[in-house]
Amino acid sequence: MTAKKFLLATVFLSLMFIFPLARAAATDDKIFYLDLIFYRNGTVLLKDFKSQFGTVTNFLPEPIQENDEEDILSYSVIMLSKDSKTLFKGYFGIGFRAGPLPLENETGYDVQLNQREQFIRLPFLEDAKTIQFFHLSSLIFEYEIPTEETPGKKGPEIPWIYVGAAALLATILVVYLIRKNYTIKL
């Protein structure tokens, strides 16, 4: 295979993988990402909050019915504006029980959990001021969204896919130039 054919084949194959990934990264919307720990006693701990690009969590259209047998609790999240107007509302359930998978054909153990970590991805809304979490109708957690002007940030972040694509193309170019100028004589 000649160097030119090798270069064309390598560029073609790399672009086959880069363009779908770049397109998927470009279709992500800006979101609020929350890493939370929900405790069985009704408290919530915020581990991380940031705005980033991604997809919004698939929330339920209505609250779930709580069931003691399944040990799934019903929660909701509400985003409020500065004037306390509801901008977004979503429902989700959290289970505090771990057991065997149905296909494992195992019986005899059922573990009760005291906490569950949840990653919640909410739509990025410019007017949003407060995020509230409810268990049934009781407010269990409230978070005031910080403003975007945080010191230390210098310009927009470059998505990882573009950095990877540039590095891959630079590597291909270097390999091509090396192969073109140097041949191995046996």
Single pTM value for the model = 0.64
Rounded Cα distance, 96 and 67, in Å: 12
pLDDT at residue 3 greater than cutoff 50: yes
Determine the pLDDT at residue 59: 92
Which percentage of the chain shows pLDDT scores above 90? 35
The structure tokens listed for 17 are 């993988």
The structure tokens listed for 172 are 């291909």
Confidence of residue 73 (pLDDT cuts 50, 70, 90): confident
Q: Where are the domains of the chain?
A: 3-26+157-181, 29-144
Per-residue model confidence as pLDDT tens digits over 92-122: 988 887 766 666 566 666 778 889 999 999 9
User: Cα dist. 165→6, 73, 95, 178 in Å?
Assistant: 18, 44, 41, 20
Q: How far apart are the first and last CA of the chain?
A: 17
Per-residue model confidence as pLDDT tens digits over 134-177: 998 899 999 999 886 443 444 455 667 777 777 887 788 777 77
CB 114 within 8 A of CB 39: yes
CB 64 within 8 A of CB 93: yes
CB 145 within 8 A of CB 128: yes
Rounded Cα distance, 55 and 121, in Å: 7
**In this predicted model, which residue has the larger pLDDT, 166 or 78?**
78
